[in-house]
Every structure is written in structure tokens, then in C-alpha cells.
Amino acid sequence: MLNPTRPRRVLMVAYHFPPLQGGSGVLRTQGFARYLPAAGWQPLVLTASARAHVHTSDDYPGDGELTVRRSAALDAARHLSLRGRYPACLALPDRWSSWWLSAVPAGLAMIRRYRPEAIWSTYPIATAHLIGLTLHKLTGLPWIADQRDPMIDDSDPQAPYPANTRLHRLHGWIEQRIAARSAAIVCTTPGAISAHRRRLSQVTAERFCLIENGYDEEGFMNSAGQAQDRHRSRFLLLHSGVIYPSERDPQALFAALARLRQGGVLTAHNFQLLLRATGHDAWLAGLLAKYGIADLVTIAPLLAHQQALREMQSADGLLLLQAANCNAQIPAKLYEYLRCRRPVLALTDLAGDSAAKLRLCGIDTIGQLASTSDCARALLRFLALARQGRAPLASQGAIVLQSRQARSGALAELLDQVTYRSSP
């Protein structure tokens, strides 16, 4: 039986955790760690040392009362390379595979000291799942695998993911271990659950759990009332976050901008597209030159999260990009966009989960990212609605359901279930 006299604890294995800067994974784990105690669960975080991260935040306030253990980890690309090259085996299943060597003993020490009831590990750093799997096998504690998105994708035989054969095989093996050993598999979208169920037919439906990404209300409280500039001379459309060359390819949009610019509809005096923290600045700069729209589009560097939220709240419109090859994914940024209560233009695939989520929240300013003509149509309609103050926004009731506090409540319920099932 569980001991009711002490708090229930969960060991959370996550590479993405402060002081690492950037990425939705950081906010997901940090949000769970912040809100789980109110739902009856005390988090114990096992993460990688700061040395493993390329970018760290200077304004991270510290761990406070949260129990966090950072164990040694090396980045093969930075620490184990010679003249920029390193053996491929050192980056299997990812560049931080060395983390497993220190994290397993560190995790065992935390389990002996704090006696958690469950283990939770989160992808997309697959080494975190290997650590969770190992600790589960050594201790017998129930293990929840936070998959977020599928580790492999064979839907297109001509372009499997991952493309590297050895990595694809290893990811498949890890996925099968998750299927065989985990108490529950968490995904962030309905499409991701469907993809897992097609591939892991041996896993019963009740072992899958949908816990979406979300927004952190505390972050918005800290940025409220700032940078609400509505008097700029040109419409500011903002894309905040990474633009992947395949998964968020903006070339159809750029072609549409070039067409509208040539027709005199858009000029540098009445429109600006701001691309913030793209992660692929050089590639995008080349595209802007190719389409001749550098006067309409600005590429800007990464901001601290609070500053990024303020910028989103001050924009005239927010742009979401998601290609059809990611129909089973929803960008984590979408939930912050909803909370900002600014008009959203989504260029995606109408059959994907991102479009479905927006429609569920009452937002229909959506266009097909793959089509230049539809990008132009959707953009013109969006600009007209936004300038008239008639662009649809999510209701307050719909927004509250997307908070990380609500998501943490769902995780706490799942932890209750798996620990109850495993208790003698």
C-alpha cells in the first residue's frame, strides 16, 4: 500500500530543463515541476549538467525548493569531436548518450534517498528514455514514457524518419522497449497517439494518454501590461520560434508575399513579417533574396522567454507554420499564441492536428502552407479581419483548458492511476 503520511514523489528524467535556454521541452518539464505539487505530487528532477547545453539562460532564478540533480553529460558534437568530426556511434541514440553513464547512478541515489513512487522520462532526447528504462528495470518502479511525438515515422517509405538507418533501427528498438515495459505512453496530439497505435499494436488503448503542451500563466502574469503598442504605421505579423526547412518550409508564403508586393498590395510601409529565433537564419536570408522580399521580412535573434511573450502580446498578428508532414504534431507555440489573445494566421494542412486544434478553439483564419495561391488568399483575408478588429480569438474558457496547470493535473491523475495499479 502507498504510505499516506508522506508526499507522493515522481522522479522526472528530462534533458530539457533550465538553465537550458530555448525549446518547448524546457517549458513542458518546468511547468510540470511547478504545478504538480498542487496536484499532490512532489517532483524530483534528474537532468543533464549545464555543460551539455549549447545555450543557457543567464536569468534562470535557480531551483528554489525543487529537488534537482544535474549529472555529467557531454555533447558529442562539441566535446568529443576532432576538427568538427566524431564517430557516429557516440551520437546514438543522440549526441548526449554519455549522460546515461552518470544519470543511472545519480537516479538510483535519488530513488534510495527520496523513495519516489514512479519514474517519468521525456523525449525527444532519447537518452532520457534509456535512463528511465534502466532505472525502471533496476527498481521495478512504474515508468511513464512522455513520448510527445513519435520517435520514428515510416509513413513515407521514400523519406523515413530518422533517415539514418542505424538511428532509425535504434529508435525503433527503444520504442519497442517502451511498449513492453512502460506503464503508460503519453503523447501530445491525437495524431501522435494514432501513429503509435498503428505501429505498436500490442499496446492496449488504455495505456496511451493525451497530455498536450500548454502555456504557463505565471509567464504571462510577469509580462502583462507591457509592450502593447497598437499605433505602428505598418501591420506587424510575427512568427516566434524555429522554422524548420522541411516541417515549416515558408517558400510558398514567400512566393505569395512576392506576388502581393508586385501587385502593390503589400509594401514596406504597410506590412512587416518578423521571424524571431528561426534557428535557420542563413537559409532564410537566402530565400528572402531569392524572392526579393527582404524589405517585407525581418529576421531577428532569440529573446529571453519573458521578452518573447511581451513581443507576441504586442504584435498585430501571430503566424503559425506547420507542413503536412507534421499533421500529427502541434507546435507548442500555438498554446502561447492562444493565450496572447492576438489574431492568429495558421498556414498548415487543413487535415492536420494544428488546424483541428485552432478550429476547436473557434479560429478559422487558416490556409494551406503548401499552396502559394492559398497562402495569398488566407493572408489577405486575415489582414482584412485583423485590421477591422474582427479576427476570431479563442474564448477565455477555451484558453484556460490549455494551461500547463491543467496539463499537470492530467499528469497527476495518470500518476495516481499507474501507482495504484502497481501497488501491492
pLDDT for 4-38, tens place per residue? 556 899 999 999 999 998 777 898 999 999 999 99
pLDDT of residue 226: 47
Q: What is the CB neighbour count within 10 angstroms for residue 188?
A: 24
Q: What is the CB neighbour count within 10 angstroms for residue 250?
A: 27
Instruction: For residues 227-245, give the mean pLDDT.
Output: 83
Cα separations (Å) of 146 from 308, 326, 356, 367, 372?
Answer: 26, 18, 22, 31, 36
3-state DSSP helix/strand/coil % of the chain, to nearest 5: 45, 15, 40
Instruction: For residues 324-334, give the mean pLDDT.
Output: 93
| Of 143, 138, 144, 148, nearest in space to 106 by CA | 138
Give the confidence band of 2 by pLDDT, cuts at 50, 70, 90.
Answer: very low
d(CA 280, CA 57): 20
What is the average pLDDT score of the chain?
Answer: 92
pLDDT of residue 4: 52
228 pLDDT higher than 60: no
423 pLDDT higher than 70: no
Pairing mode, if any, of strands 366-368 and 344-348? Answer: parallel
pLDDT, tens only, 102-128: 999 999 999 999 999 999 999 999 999
Which residues, in sequence order, are bridge partners of residue 235?
271
pLDDT of residue 292: 97
Angle formed at CA 240 by CA 234 and CA 245, multiple of 5 degrees = 110
pLDDT, tens only, 174-195: 999 999 999 999 999 999 999 9
Angle formed at CA 98 by CA 94 and CA 102, multiple of 5 degrees = 135
pLDDT of residue 223: 59
Give Cα 373 distance to the centre of its chain: 29
pLDDT, tens only, 346-404: 999 999 999 999 999 999 999 999 999 999 999 999 999 999 999 999 999 999 999 99
424 pLDDT higher than 80: no
pLDDT of residue 306: 87
pLDDT, tens only, 158-178: 888 898 999 999 999 999 999
Instruction: For residues 275-289, give the mean pLDDT.
Output: 97
Q: What is the CB neighbour count within 10 angstroms for residue 30?
A: 21
Cα separations (Å) of 33 from 8, 66, 213?
Answer: 13, 8, 14
pLDDT of residue 369: 98
Give the confidence band of 57 by pLDDT, cuts at 50, 70, 90.
Answer: confident
227 pLDDT higher than 50: no
Instruction: For residues 42-53, give the mean pLDDT.
Output: 96
pTM metric for this prediction: 0.90
pLDDT of residue 231: 59
Classify the phi-psi angles of 57: left when phi > 0, otherwise alpha if psi is within -120 to 50, otherwise beta: beta
Instruction: For residues 53-76, give the mean pLDDT.
Output: 88
56 pLDDT higher than 90: no
pLDDT of residue 90: 86
User: Which range among 20-24, 180-184, 204-208, 337-341 shows the weakest confidence by mean pLDDT?
Assistant: 20-24
H helical segments located in 214-362:
217-223, 251-262, 281-291, 305-314, 333-340, 353-360
d(CA 286, CA 277): 16
pLDDT of residue 81: 84
pLDDT of residue 422: 64
The set of cell numbers assigned to 75 is 555533447
Q: Which residue has the higher pLDDT, 101 or 149?
A: 101
Instruction: For residues 115-144, give the mean pLDDT.
Output: 97
| Of 268, 267, 354, 339, nearest in space to 308 by CA | 339
| Of 143, 144, 161, nearest in space to 152 by CA | 161
Q: Above pLDDT 90, what percent of the chain?
A: 80
pLDDT of residue 1: 43
d(CA 354, CA 333): 11
3-state secondary structure (DSSP) of residue 147: strand
